[in-house]
Amino acid sequence: MSGAREEILGRIRTALLAGGGDAGLARKEAVRPALQQDPVTNFVDKLKAASASVTRVPDLPDVVEAIADYLQHHHLPTALVIGNDPPLPELAWPADWELARRPAAGDDHVSVTGAFAAIAETGSLVMLSGPGHPTSLNFLPDDHIVVLRASQVVAHMEDVWALLRARDGGMPRTVNIITGPSRTADVEQTIQLGAHGPRRLHVVLVAG
Amino acid sequence: MALTAREFKHQAEVALHDVNLQRALAKAKGGFVAKRRAAVAALPEFEEIRTAARAIKNHTLANLDAYLEQFERKVEESGGKVHWARTPEEACETIQGLIGSEPRQVLKGKSMVSEEIDLNHALEQHGHTMVETDLGEYIIQLAHERPSHIIAPAVHKTREQITDLFHTEHPKYGLTQPVTEVGAIVDEARQVLRTKFLNSEFGITGANFLIAETGSTVIVTNEGNGDLSQILPRVHIVTASIEKVVPTLDDMSTLLRLLGRSATGQEITSYTTLSTGPRRADDRDGPEEFHVVLLDNGRSTMLGNEFRDMLRCIRCGACLNHCPVYGAIGGHAYGWVYPGPMGSVLTPLMIGLENAADLPHACTLNGRCQEVCPMSIPLPDMLRALRFKEHERRITSARSRGALRAWAYLARRPRLYQAVTGLAMRVLRQLARGRGRFRSLPLAAGWTGSRDLPAPQGKTFQAQWRRR
């Protein structure tokens, strides 16, 4: 709206001259909650508390087998829609699996992606949109499997922002901080998983 | 939206006798309180973080013009556009202009600002079809109702009512069996809405925070609907109010530690999503256009008066969950968008004190709202200040102003006060004649309508005090 910008900013400046509110409080370095355990253990515990599941494997070559176990356990097809972010390009997939490297469609069952980082404090995964990681992979399929290296776990959310500021290309279009599968409590405050996003979130955590 | 705050007393009366509402409220109320208490107890640094958060917001408000300009610049640098709106009408016109005149299906994530500007109504008048995608919002849209809670919009609905609603509304999608279990209800909504997510060109979400450092808008959700509503459509429009801006990503992190815990008792919700501009050239999904509509609607006025602290509010709903009045009557009785203590402050400031004169009185001044407010907003003081304004501006009844004047006269004259209260006690005791209580009293029907007034016993407080 023409003039709206100037008028709102003008009103704000006039209001600020008038003062008000409890302005005296000094701004200081914010507190970050102390972690009770080492970051990776804390991350795993919090992740499970948020109803996600996790398999820990010693090395990258073990990842595909862990994924195969997960698919079998949940009676899922070996048709995957996958990202191309690290470390996925290094994985050797079975020849008879059906892999699609594209954004997710409404009827995809399982997606596999990497992550940019993970947060120990809250058990969260951090996903950045980009050519190797379409955001729809995080939301449309019923099962989202994430391959994460333990070295990607940072203590607090602020540590992720430091990594993000240092990265080439600045902010991506979307940053998703994901903590467990989709859920709702809109029917009588009863928590139900799988509202609109994934019904299950599974992390394959690679040591080192 | 339909403004019925003037009918507060009548609506509260109706709410108290609404059996379904009372059942739904009884189920909700303990849960929110217990979950918040446990989450706060599990974070030893909570109070320290609360102080830091208040300082962040105070600092931002004191430099609001600069942070909004920085936010705007960053949005534009990332390829998005910021639109400023003084009023709800201006905001709706802007959004209508972005969507265009051809009728469209428009996805909506949860946004209280969109309720404030009555966006659905405005866009429906232009022939667009609005699809609320948050489950609670979807339920009340089917019921043609408004949110009764800022974070749990359908908290007033029982499961049986939702079963009936779906059974009436969903046969057109071939879903003809009634669903009664929570899991089946959620699944059916997922199925219906999934098709709509995949076939809409416009998506509108709200914003819990705007980040000046990066030009990002942030939503904090659990269902994932807010994400599907913005990554699948071609155009993503964000409705946000000017006080949502914070300086940096780190500042947001501090506020996030309070928001989830205060709202649902979660350390963090399932999804926290930062959206910065439209999709990049090499992105394979995401919106092609990104617009942020920044709404003022009275906030710049609040910034310059004694209600500035209200602009610290992060819309967690803790004050609603801990309010005995809200707990008894639910949100609809308040008659506008924002209910509970925060609503009793905001509504008169946004729609006029004369249109919401009862709301500042819908409070027992018990102080629990301020105690649990993560931003330490002095809500009871503000409600008292609004009562004072009503008195000053003669919005209250002549009788109550007269009574207050008489009281003030007495209270400033201690001897007369003692004489009058001593006499009144004797008279009341006589009148009660041993029953010890009054079923009705002239001029006190407001009290005796729903409870007895106990008759005074013994001597006045001051007389007892003197004898000690």
Per-residue pLDDT reduced to its tens digit, A60-107 = 999 999 999 999 999 999 999 999 999 999 999 999 999 999 999 999
Largest CA distance in chain B: 87
A183: chain B residues, CB-CB within 8 Å: 222-223, 270
Examine residue A150 and state whether it is found in any structural domain, yes or no: yes
Strand B453-454 versus strand B81-85 pairing type:
unpaired
Inter-CA distances, B148 with A142, A158, B329, B464, Å: 31, 35, 10, 47
Domain count, chain A: 1
B289: chain A residues, CB-CB within 8 Å: none
A121: chain B residues, CB-CB within 8 Å: 267
Count of all residues that appear for chain B in the document:
468
Rounded Cα gap, residues B132 and B196, in angstroms: 10
More confidently predicted of A208 and B379 = B379
Residue to substitute from A174, A176, A183, A200, interface B, most B β-carbons within 10 A: A174
Residues in chain B where the model's pLDDT stays below 50: none
Q: Which two tokens stand for residue B65?
A: 């013009």
Q: Domain range for residue A101?
A: 36-206
Write out residues 251-290 of B within 8 Å (CB-CB) of A: 251, 253-254, 256-257, 264, 267-280, 282-286
B356: closest CA of chain A, how far (Å) = 23
Distance of CA A74 to the CA centre of its chain: 22
Judge whether residue A23 has pLDDT over 70: no
Rounded Cα gap, residues B419 and B289, in angstroms: 74
Domain containing residue A136: CATH number: 3.40.50.10420
A208: closest CA of chain B, how far (Å) = 26
CB contact under 8 A, A4 and B223: no
Examine residue A17 and state whether it is found in any structural domain, yes or no: no
**Closest alpha carbon within chain B to A201:** B270
pLDDT at B383: 98
Rounded Cα gap, residues B331 and B318, in angstroms: 13
pLDDT at B318: 98
**Closest among B211, B206, B220 to B251, alpha carbons compared:** B211
Q: Which two tokens stand for residue B18?
A: 């609404």
Please compute the mean of the pLDDT values over residues A122-126 and round it to a whole number: 98
Write out residues 6-65 of B within 8 Å (CB-CB) of A: 24, 27-28, 31-32, 43-45, 48-49, 51-56, 58-59, 61-62, 64-65
CB contact under 8 A, B28 and A189: yes
* Nearest-CB residue to A183 (from B187, B222, B249): B222
pLDDT at B37: 97
* Nearest-CB residue to A188 (from B58, B158, B273): B158
The answer to whether the bond into B348 is cis (omega within 30° of 0) is: no
Question: B43 Cβ partners below 8 Å, 6+ apart?
Answer: A33, B49, B257, B261, B267
Q: Which two tokens stand for residue B76?
A: 């534009």
pLDDT at B13: 93
Q: Across chain A, what does the average pLDDT equal? A: 95
Rounded Cα gap, residues B253 and B299, in angstroms: 24
Task: Tell me the count of A-B CB pairs closer than 8 A.
Answer: 272
Domains of chain B: 5-157+201-299 (3.40.50.10420), 410-467 (no CATH)
Please compute the mean of the pLDDT values over residues A9-36 and round it to a whole number: 82
Place A24 in a pLDDT band, splitting at 50, 70 and 90.
Answer: low
Question: A95 Cβ partners below 8 Å, 6+ apart?
Answer: none
B70: chain A residues, CB-CB within 8 Å: none
**Closest alpha carbon within chain B to A119:** B268
Q: Which two tokens stand for residue A193?
A: 């998983």
Place A57 in a pLDDT band, splitting at 50, 70 and 90.
Answer: very high
* Nearest-CB residue to B286 (from A129, A157, A197): A129
Question: A175 Cβ partners below 8 Å, 6+ apart?
Answer: A126, A127, A128, A129, A164, B216, B273, B274, B276
Q: Which two tokens stand for residue A71?
A: 């698919």
Examine residue A114 and state whether it is found in any structural domain, yes or no: yes
CB contact under 8 A, B86 and A173: no
pLDDT at A20: 62
B181: chain A residues, CB-CB within 8 Å: none
Examine residue A201 and state whether it is found in any structural domain, yes or no: yes
CB contact under 8 A, B55 and A179: no
Please compute the mean of the pLDDT values over residues A202-208 and round it to a whole number: 95
Q: Tally Cβ neighbours within 10 Å of residue A59.
A: 9
Residue to substitute from A143, A189, A193, interface B, most B β-carbons within 10 A: A189
Examine residue A125 and state whether it is found in any structural domain, yes or no: yes
Q: Tally Cβ neighbours within 10 Å of residue B465.
A: 9
H or E element that contains A175? strand A174-178
Examine residue A100 and state whether it is found in any structural domain, yes or no: yes
Please compute the mean of the pLDDT values over residues A155-181 and round it to a whole number: 97
pLDDT at B98: 98
Rounded Cα gap, residues B46 and B303, in angstroms: 27
Question: B407 Cβ partners below 8 Å, 6+ apart?
Answer: none
Residue B101's identity, in one-letter code, is S
Judge whether residue A55 has pLDDT over 60: yes
Q: Is B214 on the interface with A (CB under 8 A)?
A: yes
Distance of CA A198 to the CA centre of its chain: 12
Q: Tally Cβ neighbours within 10 Å of residue B380.
A: 19
Share of chain A above pLDDT 70, in %: 96
H or E element that contains B387? helix B379-392
B113: closest CA of chain A, how far (Å) = 17
pLDDT at B208: 98
- The SS3 of residue B356 is coil
CB contact under 8 A, B296 and A122: no
Judge whether residue A21 has pLDDT over 80: no
Judge whether residue A13 has pLDDT over 70: yes
Q: Tally Cβ neighbours within 10 Å of residue B158.
A: 17
**Closest among B124, B172, B62 to A20, alpha carbons compared:** B62
Q: Which two tokens stand for residue B424?
A: 């009144």
Do B207 and B85 meet the contact criterion of CB atoms below 8 Å apart? no
Q: Which two tokens stand for residue B46?
A: 């909570």
CB contact under 8 A, B296 and A8: yes
DSSP annotation of B284 = S
CB contact under 8 A, A161 and B253: yes
Please compute the mean of the pLDDT values over residues A114-132 and round it to a whole number: 98
Alpha helix ranges (H) inside B147-305? 159-169, 182-198, 225-231, 249-263, 299-303
